Structure 1
Amino acid sequence: MKILALTNLYPNPLQPHRAAFNRHRFRFLAEHHALRLIAPVAWRDEWALRRSAARIPSDRRTTNDGIPVEHPRYWYTPGMLRSQYGRFFEASVRGAFDRAVREFAPDIVLATWAYPDGWAAVRLARRHGLPVAVLVHGSDVRRMDEFAARRTGTRDALRGADGVIAVSADLAARVVALGAAPDRVATVLDGVDRTLFRTGDRSAARQRLGLGDDRRHLLYIGNLLPVKGVDVLLEACRALDAQRPDWCLHLVGDGAERARLEAQAQALGIAGKVVFHGARPHADLPDWLRAADLFVLPSRSEGIPNVLLEASACGTPYVASRVGGIPEIASLGAGVLVPPEQPQALAEAIGHALEAPPAQPADGPRDRREAVSEIARFLARTAARTREPAPLSRSAAV
């Protein structure tokens, strides 16, 4: 099968750590299928990173994990004309899309993220008579009501696609409620790369990372964005500090909120116990997870967070918000769930988990290759179904 993927969630030369979960999903998909990627880069990101030593090639083409990738520039008006973002996205990637269809002749188009990626993919695929599937992640559906144009575009993308892949049952139900045909929606729970994420020696991991044994190490891995609730985690840590001083919080990741969160930690009087490590290569994350006493994910919204599956595979206990699809994977790890937006409840759960870590389950997450194989089978069925001739109506048959 030949798959043309369109997504903003993929690494590029300026953002090599971007959306590692999607990178590895596509890497495994390409092991058994021909794959080509269109991964646009927002013009504001290019401008912000213009002084970086890295450069996007002049032809905007790269190869990643053996996969040909084109990085068109995504032009849009920041904070204005949001109703046109889908059209801006479509116009920005149309040239790359048309070239890929001519050169690659795909069997199906796969977009990850509902709007504007999925919306544009549906329109572009229809121009070429190609079937299209949209993979939804969580916040693209769960938080679409923040802007009316996003809701309309998300609904149109899900209704127009030939197939929709949801990463949780909660998300699949929301997709159907928005008008996607139930028989065209598949729930595919993700897995982890078990060759990387597995249990290991905590002391050895700490030694490699330069962490001491004189503190209890709390860990957060993810983007520093409002939806991730790191501000709530900092408030919880101030409450925790009043009960026990033997902790240190490690924040692995980067994002637009970093400066504000650094200032918040300073204002709360805990800056000396909060370390911002920035983004780290995906291959480094297993050591961080093995080294931690406790992983914490205080998100306001989630689909199925891969980092919780990865923590579970490493045998690291966690405390997380009870949002989105997280309850669906709680049995796969040593997890404690708390309501979102409640720093005191989060602090109490962290304290209890440090004193008495929850029991590890007998079984953990599945291997990601199993999940990717399930996605591939769904794409093959979707492509085959769209090639089938439509049944004759009764009047036509007569």
Structure 2
Amino acid sequence: MRILALTNLYPNPLQPHRAAFNRHRFRFLAETNELRLVAPVSWREEWALRGRGAKIPRGRRTTCDGIPVEHPRYWYTPGVLRSQYGRFFQASVAGAFARAVHELAPDVVLATWAYPDGWAAVRLARRHGLPVVVLVHGSDVRRMDEFPARARGTREALRSADGVIAVSADLAARVVALGAEPDRVATILDGVDRSLFHPGDRDAARRGVGFDDGRRHLLFIGNLLPVKGVDVLLQACQALAAQRDDWCLHLVGDGAERARLEAQAQSLGLSGRVRFHGSRAHAELPAWLRAADLFVLPSRSEGIPNVLLEASACGTPYVASDVGGIPEIASLGAGILVPPEQPAALAEAIGRGLDAPPPAPATGPRDRREAVAEIARFLRHSADRARVSRLLSPSAAG
């Protein structure tokens, strides 16, 4: 099958660690299908990251994991005219999309993220007579009401697509409630790359990442954005520090909130206990997970966070917010779930997880290739059904 993917969630020369979960999903998809990507880069991010050495090459074409990628510049008006973001996105990627259609002759279009990516993909695919499937991740649907224009565009994308893939049953139910036809929605739980994420020698891992053997080590991995709730984690750590002093917190990741969170840690008296390590390559994360005593994910909203699947595959116990699809994967790992945005409850659960971590289950997450094979089957099914529908529609109209 020939697949054209449209997504802003993909690495580029300026952001090589961006959306590793999507990178590896596409890498596995390309093992058995012909794949091409259009992965736009926000003009604001491109401006902010200028002068850091790497740059997007002339022609804006690259290759990642053997997959041809074009990185058009996404132009939009920051903070205003949000109702037009879908149109801005569509106009920004239209040329690259048309080139990819001409060169690949795809069987189906796959867009990941509902708005503006999915909204634009539906319109561009229709222009070229192609079926389109939208994959939703979590916050693109769960938090869409923050801006009315995003809500409207999300509903339009989900109702118009030939198929919708949701990464959790919770998300699939929300998609149907927003108007997507139930028989066009599939719940496909992701997996992990088991060649990377598996139990290992904790002492060797700690030496590798430079952990101090005299302390217990808490770990967070993710984007430093408000939705991830790291501010709540820091408040919980302040409460934990009043009870015990045998721990430190490691934050792996970067994002717009980093400076504010560093200031918050200092104001809470946690500078000696909280360490910001910045982004790390996906291949380095198994060592961090094996080295940690406890992984913590205090998110305000989630679909199915891949990092919890990866922690589970490494045998690392975790504390996480009871939000979105997280309860659906709790049985795959040694997890403790707590209500979101409650620092005291989070601090208590962290202490409990350090002192008496729950036992790991006999089986963990499935291999990601199984999930990707399921995605490919749904893409083919959706494309075949769309073509049959379009062949029959003139007769039905007559």
Quote the Cα distance in structure 1 between the aligned partners of 2:347 and 2:225.
20
- The alignment partner of 2:337 has SS state of strand
- Structure 2 SS opposite 1:378: helix
**Aligned AA for 1:390?**
L
Displacement of 1:191: 0.2
Output the CA distance in 1 between the equivalents of 2:212 and 2:92: 49
Q: Using the TM superposition, give the Cα deviation of residue 308 of structure 1 relative to its aligned residue in structure 2, in angstroms.
A: 0.1
Mapping of 1:12-161 within 5 angstroms?
12-161=12-161
Q: For the residues of structure 2 that align with 1:391 and 1:252, how far apart are their CA atoms?
A: 52
Structure 2 counterpart of 1:302, which letter?
E
Residues 310-329 of structure 1 aligned to structure 2 (within 5 Å) = 310-329=310-329
Question: How has the CA–CA distance of structure 1 residues 287 and 384 changed in structure 2, closer, same or farther, with 3 Å as cutoff?
Answer: same
Letter in 2 for 1:373: A
Separation in structure 2 between the aligned mates of residue 395 and residue 54 of structure 1, nearest angstrom: 54
Q: 1:287 corresponds to which residue?
A: 287
Q: In the alignment, which residue of structure 1 is the partner of 2:251?
A: 251
Alignment TM-score, normalising by the size of structure 2: 0.98
Whole-Å separation in 2 of the counterparts to 1:235 and 1:68: 44
Provide the residue aligned with 1:338 in structure 2: 338
Q: SS state of the match for residue 272, structure 1?
A: coil
CA deviations over 1:121-166 (Å, ceiling 9, x no partner) = 0000000000000000000000000000000000000001000000
* Structure 2 match to 1:366: 366
CA distance in 1, matches of 2:160, 2:217: 47
Aligned residue for 2:304? 304
Distance 1:353 1:309 in 2: 18
Deviation at 1:391, TM superposition (A): 6.5
Residue 34 of structure 1, CA deviation: 0.1
Specify the code of the residue in structure 2 equivalent to 1:214. G
Cα displacement (A) at 1:43: 0.2
Give deviations 1:277-321, integer Å, cap 9, x for gaps. Answer: 000000000000000000000000000000000000000000000
CA distance in 2, matches of 1:110, 1:267: 45
Give the partner amino acid of 1:293: D
Deviations 1:256-290 (A, max 9, x none): 00000000000000111000000000000000000
Aligned length: 396
Gaps (5+ residues) in structure 1? none
**Alpha-carbon shift at residue 324 of structure 1 (Å):** 0.1
2:218 is aligned with 1:213: no
2:192 is aligned to 192
Is residue 390 of structure 1 aligned with residue 384 of structure 2?
no
Find the aligned partners of 2:333 and 2:218 in 1 and give their Cα distance: 17
Distance 2:199 2:120 in 1: 41
* Aligned 1:229-268 pairs, distance under 5 A: 229-268=229-268
- Look up the SS of the partner of 1:31 in the other structure: helix
Letter in 1 for 2:21: F
Where structure 2 has 5 or more consecutive residues not aligned to the other structure, the ranges are none
- The aligned amino acid for 1:349 is A
Q: Secondary structure at the match of 1:371?
A: helix
Query: Cα deviation per residue 1:235-261 (whole Å; 9 max; x = unaligned)?
Result: 000000111001110000000000000
Task: Tell me, in whole angstroms, the C-alpha distance in 2 between the residues paired with 1:212 and 1:201.
Answer: 16
Deviation of the 1:212 alpha carbon: 1.7
CA distance in 2, matches of 1:255, 1:182: 36
* Alpha-carbon distance in structure 2 between the residues aligned to 1:392 and 1:64: 42
Q: What is the letter of the counterpart of residue 199 of structure 2?
A: T
CA distance in 2: counterparts of 1:98 and 1:210, whole angstroms: 48
SS in 2 for 1:110: strand
Match of residue 181 from structure 1: 181
Amino acid aligned to 2:310: E
CA shift for structure 1 position 392: 7.8
Distance 2:359 2:52 in 1: 45
Question: For 1:390, what is the secondary structure of its paired residue?
Answer: helix
Deviates more, 1:307-316 or 1:354-363: 354-363
Secondary structure of residue in 2 paired with 1:68: strand
Tell me how far apart the structure 2 counterparts of residues 390 and 345 of structure 1 sit (CA, whole Å). Answer: 57
For residues 324-370 of structure 1, the C-alpha deviation after alignment (integer angstroms, 9 at most, x for no partner) is 00000000000000000000000000001100010111110000000
- Cα distance, 1:61–1:395 mapped onto 2, change above 3 Å: closer
Residues 161 and 265 (structure 1 numbering): CA distance in 2 closer, same or farther, change over 3 Å? Answer: same
Write out per-residue CA displacement over residues 46-77 of structure 1, whole angstroms, 9 at most, x where no aligned residue.
10011110010110000000000000000000
TM-score with structure 1 setting the length: 0.98
Q: How far apart are the structure 2 equivalents of 1:111 and 1:368? A: 19
Give the Å deviation of 1:394. 7.7
**CA–CA separation in structure 2 for the residues paired with 1:211 and 1:391:** 63
Runs of 4+ in 1 over 3 A off after TM superposition: 391-396
SS in 2 for 1:173: helix
Question: Could you report, residue by residue, the CA deviation over 1:178-197 in whole angstroms, capped at 9, with x for unpaired residues?
Answer: 00000000000000000000
Equivalent AA in structure 2 for residue 237 of structure 1: C
- In the alignment, does 2:286 pair up with 1:278? no
When the two chains are superposed, the root-mean-square deviation of aligned CA atoms in Å is 1.0
Q: 1:394 to 1:187 in 2, by over 3 A?
A: closer
Q: What is the CA-CA distance between 1:390 and the residue it aligns to?
A: 1.7
Cα pair distance change 1:305/1:394, threshold 3 Å: closer
Give secondary structure in 1 for the equivalent of 2:95.
helix
State the one-letter code of the partner of 1:200. Answer: G
